[in-house]
Amino acid sequence: DKPQLAEIIAVVPDESVQVCLVDTGSGTPFISALDLRPVRDTLYPQANATQALVLVDRSNFGLSGAALVRYPEDPYDRVWIPWSEIDSNEWTEISTPEKVQELADPRFNAPSAVMQTAITPRNGSRSASSRTIELSWDAAPNHAYPDPGVIGIVYFAELEAVAGDAAKRQFEMAINGKLWSKAPFTPQHLVCDAFFNSEAHRGFGGHYNVTLTATANSTLLPTINAAEFFSVVSTANVATDAKDVAAMAAIKAKYEVKKNWAGDPCTPKTLVWEGLNCSYAISMPPRITRLNMSFGGLSGRIPSHFGNLKAIKYL
């Protein structure tokens, strides 16, 4: 069996992060390794306090058969995978040894090692005849997200010397037949540029078809350097209120509780810590409303940490 990898970009609301694996009916969950990577807080603004991005695909175009690009070329250790569908009869690979400058927009950036390669339709190919690059991705539906929304980020840089009025590369982008770009797009020479959607695309059942089509005024065919596609998952009610978590961690340490107090105190609902009751609002994180520690045979002064449980009703 091939290793199963998952990557999530999420905003951590506190100084710590808890990872919980839950059996959803397919057997006992397990994990072999877990890597955490901090990223610049301006990157991927679609990831916020209420939603996270789950990687569907991250492709590096124009580098067939080459190794992965990751750290140190990418300071955030994102794994850029060479596009595996290169057809030498369909595509021409473009590359340059020159450094591609970062985009001034701090929200998205692909490393220069990724942006130094690209693909464009080969003359005489089907794609060249239609003056189009067509790519497809699937975000697998599941019981929680039957129609997963998708965030797409497509990276461009002009790698060829395009000078004068006689040469022009300009194209429009569409997703599942609907125009994605409001205006024709022209890549900048040796400068990383990104096109993206701020709100998730929905309503396509998880299948997304992206096309880049040269405009009538373009003398050159479209090109693409790299792309990332993410499905969107809600994190609005995933974790217990951060202050409640901190208070319970302090109480656990104070009394050296050995019970099944591990992971998040209130979620998932089937694994709430023993002795706790929690409230679950639609637009708010779970809060601890009841704490019963009679099982511990405790004695002594009550520490101030209990006062930090602001939603507590019964103690």
- Give tens-digit pLDDT for 215-249: 998 989 999 999 999 999 887 777 888 899 989 98
User: Are both 303 and 204 inside the same structural domain?
Assistant: no
CA gap 127, 121 in Å, rounded: 6
User: Are both 213 and 249 inside the same structural domain?
Assistant: no
Whether the CB-CB separation of 115 and 155 falls below 8 Å is answered with yes
User: Are both 90 and 186 inside the same structural domain?
Assistant: yes
User: Are both 110 and 159 inside the same structural domain?
Assistant: yes
Residues 6+ apart with CB under 8 A from 216: none
Any domain includes 315: no
Whether the CB-CB separation of 8 and 58 falls below 8 Å is answered with no
Scanning the structure block, which residue is given the tokens 């429009």?
172
pLDDT at 86 over 70: no
Q: What are the tens digits of pLDDT across the range 26-35?
A: 788 888 999 9
User: Are both 176 and 295 inside the same structural domain?
Assistant: no
| pLDDT (average), residues 111-124 | 90
pLDDT at 190 over 90: yes
pLDDT, the chain, mean: 85
Percent of the chain whose pLDDT exceeds 70: 92
Any domain includes 90: yes
Any domain includes 184: yes
User: Are both 37 and 130 inside the same structural domain?
Assistant: yes
Residues composing the chain: 315
pLDDT at 264 over 90: no
Higher pLDDT, 60 or 67: 60
Where is the domain boundary, 235, 260, 277? Answer: 235
H or E element, residue 178:
strand 178-179
Any domain includes 314: no
H or E element, residue 127:
helix 126-130
Where is the domain boundary, 182, 208, 235? Answer: 235
CA gap 309, 143 in Å, rounded: 34
Scanning the structure block, which residue is given the tokens 């965030």?
151
H or E element, residue 138:
strand 132-138
Q: What is the DSSP letter of 189?
A: B
Residues 6+ apart with CB under 8 A from 164: none
**Amino acid (1-letter code) at residue 268:** P
User: Are both 175 and 221 inside the same structural domain?
Assistant: yes
pLDDT at 141 over 80: no
- C-alpha to C-alpha distances, 49 to 69, 79, 127, 196, 250, nearest whole angstrom: 29, 24, 41, 20, 24
H or E element, residue 113:
helix 112-115
Any domain includes 83: yes
User: Are both 290 and 213 inside the same structural domain?
Assistant: no
Percent of the chain whose pLDDT exceeds 90: 36
Least confident span in 128-132, 139-143, 197-201: 139-143
- The pLDDT value recorded for residue 14 is 72
Any domain includes 313: no
Whether the CB-CB separation of 247 and 291 falls below 8 Å is answered with no
pLDDT at 277 over 80: yes
Whether the CB-CB separation of 112 and 103 falls below 8 Å is answered with no
- The pLDDT value recorded for residue 281 is 84
| pLDDT (average), residues 238-264 | 85
User: Are both 132 and 199 inside the same structural domain?
Assistant: yes
- The pLDDT value recorded for residue 76 is 93
Whether the CB-CB separation of 137 and 113 falls below 8 Å is answered with no
| pLDDT (average), residues 79-92 | 80
Q: What are the tens digits of pLDDT across the range 150-169?
A: 899 999 999 998 766 677 89
Domain coverage including residue 293: 242-308
> Residue 69 burial by CB count (10 A; 0-12/13-18/19+): exposed, middle or buried?
buried
User: Are both 164 and 269 inside the same structural domain?
Assistant: no
Where is the domain boundary, 174, 204, 235? Answer: 235
CA gap 90, 188 in Å, rounded: 24
Distance, first Cα to last Cα, the chain: 50
User: Are both 116 and 250 inside the same structural domain?
Assistant: no
| pLDDT (average), residues 36-52 | 89
Determine the 3-state secondary structure of 143 from DSSP.
Answer: coil
CA gap 249, 261 in Å, rounded: 9
pLDDT at 72 over 80: yes
- C-alpha to C-alpha distances, 251 to 89, 194, 257, 290, 309, nearest whole angstrom: 66, 47, 8, 14, 11
User: Are both 228 and 248 inside the same structural domain?
Assistant: no
Q: How many domains does the chain have?
A: 2
- The pLDDT value recorded for residue 23 is 76
- As a whole number of angstroms, the longest Cα–Cα distance in the chain is 86
Scanning the structure block, which residue is given the tokens 């975000």?
139
